[in-house]
Structure 1
Amino acid sequence: MLMLCAFAVATSEFIIIGVMPEVAGDLGVSLPTAGLLVTAYAVAVAVGGPVLTVVARNLPRRPLLVGLMALATGAAVLSALAQTYPLLMGARILGALAQGLFLSVASQVAIASVPEEKQTAAIAKVVNGIALSTVLGVPIGTLIGQANGWRASFVLVAALGLIGLIGVLVFCPKVDHEPEPTVRESISAFRKPAILLGLATTVLSFTGMITAFTYVSPTLREVTGFAPGWVTGVLLIYGLGTMAGSWIAGRVPPNRIARVLPFTITALGTVLLLHGLLMQTKVTSVLSLFLLGTSAFATGPLLHTFLMGQAGPASGLVASVNISAFNAAAALGPILGGAVITGGLGLGSVGLFAAVPTVVGIGVALVIAGHTRRRATAVAQPVLAGTT
């Protein structure tokens, strides 16, 4: 149910991209002005999520989840009914605030609902809802919106949100929620090197992935030679890759994440380095997209689980900030890819430049692995000495 909820709120974030010309025409605004509906949403998630996480830190988790899904569903209904641009902008920001806090709370509930050895798998399922929104929710919502008007896209989001809300009411267990630390104590968690390094790894690795993925559709058409009607079908292969990556992440125990992270990010960096070459033919492009989804969504849940484990009582705030870090990557990626294309290097070169931040992320992940290993050794030595 949490995966379905994540699917609904993430679809709400990106669905407007597919119907932006219709929105602009209907509300009488320019395309760049309509594009601000995407930017404002991302900013509201990135900024509002951590702030609301602090404000709501001591509220019971299950009722908070119910309230957030009700708010997200209501925001989708308001979006569908909005007759003016300001009203649609207000509804979008309302939904973004619900999403920013929801993903943080959902992460906490997912971890609290399973034994320790299954925590990574639980986070992977929630994250997979976000991944599937890009390859299922947005294309389907776009088709519905183009056929029946852009408001129908938000009716779809509202329906998904309502199903998720009912699912939370029926299936979500009552989760024990210990009192959160004070604001000062929560913020002090960011003094830990492992947390700062983990957040940097999120920004670096996913800036690379999003840089390539943003321009996948035009690359499939103009470089690989797929007809427009085939592009959505090929992107479903990417979706299968995200599911495979989440499955791989779920097999990693929390205490081994730091050791595994460099390998998954190296796989992601390798795919990006070869992306331009692999996109030259139809068979290898399908393989490239599958591996891109697999490596990226093996990395994402591992990073998220690792950071929450390092944060201790401040896990909610750290989870929210990590979501903000992902949104920062989502903003930086298109800029980097756009600069490559504007510079005349072409779509085939986007992957090569996308690999640069990801390769830096490999180095940071290696530092995390070394830091975690040294900490484990330092903790073990006094114990062994006391036993002796």
Structure 2
Amino acid sequence: MAKSNSLLVYILAFGIFGIINTEMGVIGILPQIAAQFSVDVSQAGLLVSLFALAVAIAGPFLPLLFSGINRKTTLLLVLGVFVITNVFSVFAPNFTVLLIARIIPAFLHPVYFSVAFVAATRTAGKDQAAKASSKVFMGVTAGMVIGTPITSLIADVVSLQAAMWFFAAVNAVAFLGILLFIPSMPVQGRLSYGTQLGVLKKPIVWLSMATAAFVLSGLYAVYSFFAEYLDKVTHMTGKEISVMLVLFGATGIAGNLLAGKWLSLNAVRTALLFPFGFGAIYVLVYFLGMFSIPMILIVLAWGVYFTLGLNISQYWITSAAPEAPEFANGLFVAFGNLGVTIGTAIGGLFISNMGIQHVVWSGLLFLVLGLISILLRAKLYHSKQRFNGPTEIIASS
């Protein structure tokens, strides 16, 4: 039984990887896409920002609508749509068609995310729920920080079309894994819409959502143009950029492991220190970004802190509303992707008006806003909470 549950969790995580890879994998190939479709890199960035905007719009609502449907059916439906639209993306005749083919599946992104997390934790049982959730979250991390360099490497070594086939292939493998190895999962004891929506009455939830939006904006205002920065400022070749993305992904996995430890020890302190650490990285990127060796060292820290920010944001929201886990995960996906949308758009504006090197200031702006929201939450709720390990931010208004 334990082996069966573990297999289920890893299959769910691989599906998460496929979906997040579809969303974020294009970051590493934006320069190639811009050249292929004769658009500038800020326009190509719409493939990231509009996808994220669709997720943000759907995040609070579609998980609620699907919450009563058999979970296996829901997972297969979502992955099936991702496979089909990714195949259409390979043959897109122009940038508009490519953009539409990416936006359509984006609306179902939060549905898979919410169902996968809840299915994994419910299957594992209460005593193993946190461990199962962390394993599924590894799929999120892998999709964001490993899928991007893999896609970039395929595009550089083979072709842009081959990289886009990679998106479809990963989702197809995940689809088959769920179809063949995951049993039917009918929903039992579904919470009413009113009960789930009731968590929005808690001010701590809104502060948590604001923090997630600001933090993700701060991350993606710069990371969305990571490849472009290394190209234009650091003057790296395509292969060197691919190596840097792989390095970023490898250190990102280490960051995911550290995040679990640090959040368990003291979540509020970890959250409060995060903007300062990441801000220091951006300052170093600005002043040393034109030098290859310093940038390699900076990327080592950048990858660690990047995934730490992702973990903080997810934990911040879901632990604020533990009584409605599907809805809480949907809120994280929605506001996290809202942050990706805003950050990428503002980062693109900084590039258009000031140049690629100055994009780091857009990231710093959002980190300051994130710090303010974290401080507000800590100030408003510290007197009500006993911060002790991983339960320290589980609160009610």
| TM-score, normalised via structure 2 length | 0.79
Aligned equivalent of 1:50: 60
Tell me if the contact between 2:114 and 2:327 (Cα under 8 Å) persists in the aligned partners.
yes
* CA shift digits 1:230-253 (9 cap, x unpaired): 111112111112111111123356
Aligned equivalent of 1:365: 374
After the TM superposition, which of the residue ranges 112-121 and 321-330 deviates more from structure 2?
A: 112-121
How many residue pairs match? The answer is 372
1:165 is the counterpart of 2:175 = yes
Tell me if the contact between 2:274 and 2:309 (Cα under 8 Å) persists in the aligned partners.
yes
Give 2:334's aligned amino acid.
S
Identity among equivalent pairs (%): 20
Q: 130, 149, 153: which is aligned to 1:136?
A: 149
Q: Shift in Å at residue 320 of structure 1?
A: 1.6
Aligned equivalent of 2:5: none
Aligned equivalent of 1:181: 191
Q: Shift in Å at residue 178 of structure 1?
A: 4.8
2 CA distance for matches of 1:31 and 1:257? 37
Give 2:375's aligned amino acid.
L
Q: Shift in Å at residue 351 of structure 1?
A: 2.0
The alignment partner of 2:319 has SS state of helix
2 CA distance for matches of 1:49 and 1:130? 18
Aligned equivalent of 1:382: none
Measured at CA, do residues 221 and 317 of structure 1 come closer, stay the same or move farther in structure 2, by a change above 3 Å? Answer: same
Measured at CA, do residues 82 and 285 of structure 1 come closer, stay the same or move farther in structure 2, by a change above 3 Å? Answer: closer
Gap regions ≥5 residues in structure 2: 1-10, 388-397
1:212-251 maps to which residues of 2 (within 5 A)? 212-251=222-261
Gap regions ≥5 residues in structure 1: 379-388
Tell me if the contact between 2:313 and 2:336 (Cα under 8 Å) persists in the aligned partners.
no
Give 1:347's aligned amino acid.
I
Q: Shift in Å at residue 177 of structure 1?
A: 5.1
1 CA distance for matches of 2:347 and 2:98? 29
1 CA distance for matches of 2:345 and 2:45? 14
Aligned equivalent of 1:288: 298
1:68 is the counterpart of 2:64 = no
Instruction: Pick the structure with greater CA Rg.
Output: 1
1 CA distance for matches of 2:222 and 2:184? 41
Measured at CA, do residues 178 and 249 of structure 1 come closer, stay the same or move farther in structure 2, by a change above 3 Å? Answer: farther
The alignment partner of 1:374 has SS state of coil
Give 2:213's aligned amino acid.
V
* CA shift digits 1:316-366 (9 cap, x unpaired): 22222221222222222233333333443x433332442122123123223
2 CA distance for matches of 1:227 and 1:261? 36
After the TM superposition, which of the residue ranges 221-230 and 248-257 deviates more from structure 2?
A: 248-257
1:1-388 maps to which residues of 2 (within 5 A)? 1-14=11-24, 18=30, 20=33, 24=37, 40-80=50-90, 91-114=101-124, 115-118=128-131, 121-132=134-145, 134-143=147-156, 146=159, 150=161, 152-169=162-179, 172=182, 178-252=188-262, 256-344=266-354, 346-377=355-386
Q: Shift in Å at residue 52 of structure 1?
A: 1.5
Q: Shift in Å at residue 141 of structure 1?
A: 4.9
2 CA distance for matches of 1:295 and 1:106? 25
The alignment partner of 1:312 has SS state of coil
1 CA distance for matches of 2:233 and 2:35? 28
Measured at CA, do residues 183 and 225 of structure 1 come closer, stay the same or move farther in structure 2, by a change above 3 Å? Answer: same
After the TM superposition, which of the residue ranges 227-236 and 29-38 deviates more from structure 2?
A: 29-38
1 CA distance for matches of 2:251 and 2:13? 17
1 CA distance for matches of 2:322 and 2:74? 20
| TM-score, normalised via structure 1 length | 0.81
1 CA distance for matches of 2:41 and 2:231? 23
